[in-house]
Structure 1
Amino acid sequence: MKAKSTKKFSAVKDRAATEARILNAARTIFARRGYDAAGLREIAELAQANLSLISRYFGGKEGLLTALTDQFVAARREGGLSYPPQDTLRDEIHCYLHTKLHDDLKDEEIVRLIVSRAAIDTEFRKTAGAHLDGQVDANFHSRIKLLQDAGKVASDMDIDLLFATIMHVSFSVNFFGAMIGDRSESEIDALFNGFATALAHGLPVRH
């Protein structure tokens, strides 16, 4: 029984490792050639995996992009924030926006891939929309709770609405401002500063 259990665990571990290699390879090839020109055989070769495993594990090229999107979203929701808790909501929003900008620029290739594909592929847009559900970042939620507990933010503030608003601004500035518009750091900071100040003075509350 123990031998069977060990063998099963090993198989699961091997599959996970192969899936990770395939996803890393897909990300590289998609970035290098674009989604349409990317070939599954090239992805399999880079991943040193059997071509048939891509269909078995992911269902093909669209499944790979969906898995990459899922991976991207999960990474955003895991781990902690790199900056210490701030004393005011304005400063918390300002720092959070800069953190998300740093994350997006670090993953600029996958951000561009997801956005460009969603713009022209209706089916993928539906799938991506389901993954990008706007669920509140637990890290951000805990920071707002700290401010609420300290009496610095209203207890009836709608954190979900606040987060959704921040994410819309974050996407607009990060993608259209930083990646497409190539705005300077000072311009980006001015936008974040103005937005954080305005929102901190008009807090959304639950109705």
Structure 2
Amino acid sequence: MDETSQQKTSAHVSTARTRPKKRDRSASEERLLNAAEDIFSKHGFKGATTRMIADKAKLNESLIGRYFDGKMGLLFALIEKHIEDVPLDILPYPPQETVREELHKLIDSMYYKHCQKDSEFFKIVISQCLTDAKFLKRIREIIPKKIHPDVKMRLENLATQGKIRTDVDLELFIQTLDTYFHGVMLFEKILMGYPEDKLNQGMRFVVDTYATAIEIKK
């Protein structure tokens, strides 16, 4: 075997050795994240320990420090994972013909279903925000704070079509909606535990009222 062949063989062996390690790490990280979410939900962030998480994942506890820099790093990795799971690149429904229909579709969109589905985890995040100022500051930097930007664009298009009163401040309108929706998720869903049908009923009543206030009646 010549020198060139030996170099190619060595490179191939090196790559073959690296790939399984990357796959193993990815699988281990996923197991630790799943275990952490389960443990955090059952015991709270303060009550959970890295030993409990490692035991749940059936992995060495030292991997938590190596991959996530500890328990807090695990929590932030989970938060980022939840954010990535939310489809923020495009709204999951086509533009609607009226403000009322657009807002109804927004309620039904995957973003709000996602928030409802993961309410137990969000309790942990909110609790930590209320007791840890540094955690709250970092959360404000990474969590999306506004309704999907396409909603504003669609409402502006409806206004251009003459379907929204010209004196309506759409920026303020969307900001008000955003505050209301987040309040619903925090208070009614997470704190009060209202069922999904009651949440949807209440949100539809509110957006119908908003729509009536800003739409041009024909």
Q: Deviations over 1:25-51 (max 9, x none)?
A: 000001111111101011011112111
Long gaps (5+) in structure 1: none
CA distance in 1, matches of 2:211, 2:130: 29
Residue of 159, 176, 189 corresponding to 1:178:
189
Q: Structure 2 vs 1, CA of residues 167 and 23 (structure 1 numbering), >3 Å: closer, same or farther?
A: farther
**Identity percentage of aligned residues:** 27
CA distance in 2, matches of 1:71, 1:136: 19
Task: Name the SS for the 1:36 alignment partner.
Answer: helix
Q: Structure 2 vs 1, CA of residues 167 and 69 (structure 1 numbering), >3 Å: closer, same or farther?
A: farther
What is the Cα deviation at residue 169 of structure 1?
A: 1.8
- Give the aligned residue type for 1:67: A
| Aligned residue number for residue 40 of structure 2 | 30
Preserved contact between residue 35 and residue 56 of structure 2 (Cα < 8 Å):
yes
The answer to whether structure 1 residue 48 and structure 2 residue 58 are counterparts is yes
Task: Name the SS for the 1:22 alignment partner.
Answer: helix
What is the Cα deviation at residue 122 of structure 1?
A: 0.8
Relative to the length of structure 1, the TM-score reads 0.78
Relative to the length of structure 2, the TM-score reads 0.74
Preserved contact between residue 40 and residue 48 of structure 2 (Cα < 8 Å):
yes
Q: Deviations over 1:107-131 (max 9, x none)?
A: 1111111111111111111111111
- Give the aligned residue type for 1:37: G
Task: Name the SS for the 2:121 alignment partner.
Answer: helix
Q: Structure 2 vs 1, CA of residues 187 and 11 (structure 1 numbering), >3 Å: closer, same or farther?
A: closer
The answer to whether structure 1 residue 198 and structure 2 residue 210 are counterparts is yes
Q: Deviations over 1:116-166 (max 9, x none)?
A: 1111111111111111142664xx62x665676xx52449x9988766544
- Give the aligned residue type for 2:210: A
CA distance in 2, matches of 1:153, 1:117: 41
The answer to whether structure 1 residue 106 and structure 2 residue 117 are counterparts is yes
CA distance in 1, matches of 2:160, 2:213: 12
What is the Cα deviation at residue 71 of structure 1?
A: 1.0
Kindly report the root-mean-square deviation, in angstroms, between the aligned alpha carbons of the 2 structures.
3.1
Preserved contact between residue 120 and residue 190 of structure 2 (Cα < 8 Å):
no
Give the count of matched residue pairs: 197
Preserved contact between residue 134 and residue 164 of structure 1 (Cα < 8 Å):
no
Preserved contact between residue 128 and residue 135 of structure 2 (Cα < 8 Å):
yes
The answer to whether structure 1 residue 131 and structure 2 residue 142 are counterparts is yes
Q: Structure 2 vs 1, CA of residues 130 and 3 (structure 1 numbering), >3 Å: closer, same or farther?
A: same
CA distance in 1, matches of 2:30, 2:179: 30
The answer to whether structure 1 residue 58 and structure 2 residue 64 are counterparts is no
Q: Structure 2 vs 1, CA of residues 75 and 162 (structure 1 numbering), >3 Å: closer, same or farther?
A: farther
The answer to whether structure 1 residue 121 and structure 2 residue 127 are counterparts is no
